[in-house]
Amino acid sequence: MIEKEQLVKMIDHTELNSHSGEKKISNLCDEARKFGFFSVCVNSCYTRFAAEKLFGSDVLVCTVAGFPLGACTTATKAFEAGKSVEEGAMEIDMVMNVGALRDKRYSYVKEDIAEVVKACGPALLKVILETCYLTDEEIVEACKICVDAGAQFVKTSTGFGAFGAFPDHIRLMRKTVGPHIGVKASGGIKNFKEVWRLIQAGASRIGMSAGVTMLEGFTLFKYAPQAWLEPEIPCHVCPSRHASLGKLPKALYTYYKQKCSSCPHKDEYNKFYD
Amino acid sequence: MIEKEQLVKMIDHTELNSHSGEKKISNLCDEARKFGFFSVCVNSCYTRFAAEKLFGSDVLVCTVAGFPLGACTTATKAFEAGKSVEEGAMEIDMVMNVGALRDKRYSYVKEDIAEVVKACGPALLKVILETCYLTDEEIVEACKICVDAGAQFVKTSTGFGAFGAFPDHIRLMRKTVGPHIGVKASGGIKNFKEVWRLIQAGASRIGMSAGVTMLEGFTLFKYAPQAWLEPEIPCHVCPSRHASLGKLPKALYTYYKQKCSSCPHKDEYNKFYD
């Protein structure tokens, strides 16, 4: 089990919607102070604002770069990250160039990350892989490149892709990067049960907007630990279930469909690709 | 009616998915040359690549900046735009700071745009309002600010928001900016019928990924013009219909719901907010 004090210090309290204004960010900072979250995670136009709001607390400011597509130039990502560090960000969450990774242009991907590492200086860099658009093999490759390039963290998702964090992907990432690199789960995480599953799978940080309601759930669940320690039906937490053609590139949809049809749980649970 | 030659020259042939690689962009450029589209619209990591592919043709390169959230710093948007112009972009589609507009921080919004106008130099600047997150009053305000700041175009959507372009919004934007500023419709536009509706409403440019299949439709529709010139059922093309709480900020969902409940068509067609 986990204590509340440990749990809150794993949470990046997050607000990245384009339509959010200062009031939302201000509330986010107040909540982070009140509950003792590790950081607030905001868009770069709010770096300075959040840093001022959090002055004198031990809540860090985490800012995104090249977010959420990761398809701007390397120079732009590095510029954005560098400026955010100047304005008070202690952590930067950049998005990997997903298209280049899928193209197997690995040296481009590595250079893209290495330049942001440089721009970050003393700040910690997390690299968002956007796992929903990658095969397992590509996730492994991406993790290796991130470590090689000098990033301190790999992170699953932006929250703007086809789907978010799954224990399967977290396990794969943790296995690939080993114990000394951070693994951050993010995207669509709503409650403590999901958080706990991701921590068990190897996540060392959780990015979510629903941190406050998650903590309420955590308190309640304490009284009935068995109910939420029960293993989940595998297909319910399988990325394949969420792989819809609407948002995924066709190749990846096919990949998931094939994975699903050769899965040992297929006859027991799967209702999705019959 | 419209001739094919005019129609193709209104299309920004668009590919902005994070997972798209060089092959997709290469095909996009080939199609744009073949069909004579006005431009290709790509993420900034592909500006140079597209410019090289299109060298010697009359298809322009259009690159996005601060895309799709518009929530990076002004300096980052201007940096990205300026570099893209250096690398061969003739048009820049930037995203307005939507949160600041909703906060009524109008001088920030104007300055944000004006700095990118400067960075664009000779290139044309379109400003994406992300209309799905704005009330009608905010759309009008945003259009005025864009014109004041020196932008040559206002544009509806990124394609990554809650919904895309609607004739109602285009009409409002055209009415506000007058005849000398461009109005670009974008986001979720799939076929000629939709394109035609948006042009009739006042759009002077269309951003879409489905330009090639749209043209096939255009050719077919020529034989049965009545079928697609018929007026649409109002509620089918009303933004309110697409305003779901899942993606919209609560205030905007309420706004649309109220609009809907006082609409003259409510008893005839509306089935959404009963």
Are residue A272 and residue A147 in the same domain, yes or no? no
Which pLDDT belongs to residue B241? Answer: 79
Query: What is the band of B272 on the pLDDT scale with cuts at 50, 70, 90?
Result: low
The CA radius of gyration of chain A, in Å to the nearest whole number, is 18
Residue B140 confidence (pLDDT) above 80: yes
Token code pair at residue A263: 């899965």
Query: What is the band of A273 on the pLDDT scale with cuts at 50, 70, 90?
Result: low
What does the pLDDT average to over A105-112? 98
Q: How many CA atoms lie within 13 A of B83 on its CB side?
A: 22
What does the pLDDT average to over B146-159? 98
Which pLDDT belongs to residue B232? Answer: 77
Are residue A136 and residue A200 in the same domain, yes or no? yes
Catalytic residue list contains A271: no
Query: What is the band of A274 on the pLDDT scale with cuts at 50, 70, 90?
Result: very low
Q: Considering only CB atoms, which residues of chain A are within 8 Å of chain B?
A: 16-24, 43-47, 67-76, 79-80, 83-84, 95, 97-100, 102-103, 105, 130, 133, 160-161, 249, 252
- The percentage of chain B sitting over the pLDDT mark of 70, rounded to a whole number, equals 96
Residue A68 confidence (pLDDT) above 80: yes
What are the backbone dihedrals phi and psi of residue A43, each rounded to the nearest 5 degrees, phi first? -70, 160
What does the pLDDT average to over A78-98? 98
Residue B139 confidence (pLDDT) above 70: yes
Helix (H, G, I), strand (E, B) or coil at B74: helix
Query: What is the band of B274 on the pLDDT scale with cuts at 50, 70, 90?
Result: very low
- pLDDT tens-place string over residues A196-216: 999 999 999 999 999 999 999
Report the catalytic residues of B. Answer: 93, 155, 184
Between A272 and B92, name the one with better pLDDT.
Answer: B92
Token code pair at residue B29: 């450029």
- H or E element that contains B257: helix B250-261
Contact A18 B45 (CB under 8 A): no
Are residue A199 and residue A258 in the same domain, yes or no? no
Between B271 and B265, name the one with better pLDDT.
Answer: B265
Catalytic residue list contains A267: no
Q: Which of A17-21, A34-38, A269-273 has the lowest mean pLDDT?
A: A269-273
Q: Give this complex's ipTM.
A: 0.94
- The percentage of chain A sitting over the pLDDT mark of 70, rounded to a whole number, equals 96
Catalytic residue list contains A259: no
Contacts of B130 (CB under 8 A, 6+ apart): A18, A19, B68, B70, B95, B96, B98, B156, B157, B158, B161
The whole-angstrom distance between A176's CA and the closest CA on chain B is 22
Are residue A206 and residue A267 in the same domain, yes or no? no
Query: What is the band of A37 on the pLDDT scale with cuts at 50, 70, 90?
Result: very high
Are residue A120 and residue A55 in the same domain, yes or no? yes
Are residue B135 and residue B271 in the same domain, yes or no? no
Instruction: Give the residue on B whose Cα is nearest the Cα of A158.
Output: B18
- pLDDT tens-place string over residues A162-176: 999 999 999 999 999
Domain extent, residue A211, equals 4-230
Which pLDDT belongs to residue B247? Answer: 82
Q: Please pick, among A93, A110, A112, A126, the residue that the annotation labels catalytic.
A: A93
What does the pLDDT average to over A239-245? 78
Which pLDDT belongs to residue B262? Answer: 87
- pLDDT tens-place string over residues B10-68: 999 999 999 999 999 999 999 999 999 999 999 999 999 999 999 999 999 999 999 99
Are residue A141 and residue A239 in the same domain, yes or no? no
Q: Considering only CB atoms, which residues of chain B are within 8 Å of chain A?
A: 16-24, 43-47, 67-76, 79-80, 83-84, 95, 97-100, 102-103, 105, 130, 133, 160-161, 249, 252
Helix (H, G, I), strand (E, B) or coil at B225: helix
- pLDDT tens-place string over residues B56-111: 999 999 999 999 999 999 999 999 999 999 999 999 999 999 999 999 999 999 99
Among B17, B20, B98, beta carbon nearest to A18: B98
Are residue B237 and residue B196 in the same domain, yes or no? no
Counting the structural domains of chain B, the total is 2
Are residue B145 and residue B199 in the same domain, yes or no? yes
Residue B224 confidence (pLDDT) above 80: no
Among B69, B133, B161, beta carbon nearest to A67: B69
Residues B70 and B97 sit within 8 Å (Cβ to Cβ): yes
Which pLDDT belongs to residue B229? Answer: 66
Residue A13 confidence (pLDDT) above 70: yes
Are residue B206 and residue B263 in the same domain, yes or no? no
Token code pair at residue B65: 């900046």
What are the backbone dihedrals phi and psi of residue B52, each rounded to the nearest 5 degrees, phi first? -70, -45
Q: Which of A155-169, A229-243, B69-83, B253-267 has the lowest mean pLDDT?
A: A229-243
Which pLDDT belongs to residue A229? Answer: 66
The CATH number linked to A210 is 3.20.20.70
Between B106 and A251, name the one with better pLDDT.
Answer: B106
Contacts of A131 in chain B (CB under 8 A): none
Measure the CA–CA gap between A73 and A79, rounded to whole angstroms. Answer: 10
What are the backbone dihedrals phi and psi of residue B62, each rounded to the nearest 5 degrees, phi first? -115, 130
Which pLDDT belongs to residue B169? Answer: 97
- pLDDT tens-place string over residues A117-140: 999 999 999 999 999 999 999 999
- pLDDT tens-place string over residues A136-158: 999 999 999 999 999 999 999 99
Are residue B111 and residue B59 in the same domain, yes or no? yes
Cis peptide before B68 (omega within 30 of 0): yes
Are residue B39 and residue B164 in the same domain, yes or no? yes
Name which of A67, A76, A209 to mutate to probe chain B: the one with the most chain B Cβ atoms within 10 A of its Cβ.
Answer: A76
